[in-house]
Amino acid sequence: MKITLTSEESIRLEASDGVLTIEAESYDQSFSPYHMIASGLASCTHSVLASWATHANLKAASLSIEVTWKFVENPHRLGQIALTIVWPDLPKERWAAAERAAALCPVHHTFKQGPAMMIEARS
């Protein structure tokens, strides 16, 4: 897998040979916690879609996932996440099924029904 930080508020995930790589478009860009969250969502979605494609006898080599986000305030946090499936080889008649399959990603469900959060300080 290759994750590219396309901006301070977006990433692109593509399948690639070899080990996981994370690349930025400029040297001064860092892999922020928000990039990490988006990468988890993209990776999960890609995995679900690649599995679905295998079972549907479809080619997934051209599949990539783009994730963008926007912030809201009070408190400062992610307010919107948009996921785009880019899949040039997918037949148009399979798009609706691919979108349904993508929604099965457990990370997607985690955002829809957030987990309980606990913070504990220890010495």
4: helix, strand or coil: strand
Contact 48, 85 (CB under 8 A): no
Query: Cβ contacts of residue 69 below 8 Å, gap of 6+?
Result: 9, 10, 34, 37, 38, 78, 79, 80, 81, 82
pTM of the model: 0.93
Cα distances (Å, whole numbers) of residue 44 to 4, 48, 86, 104? 16, 6, 15, 9
94: helix, strand or coil: helix
pLDDT in tens, the chain (123 residues): 999 999 999 999 999 888 999 999 888 999 999 999 999 999 999 999 999 999 999 999 999 999 999 999 999 999 999 999 999 999 999 999 999 999 999 999 999 998 999 999 999
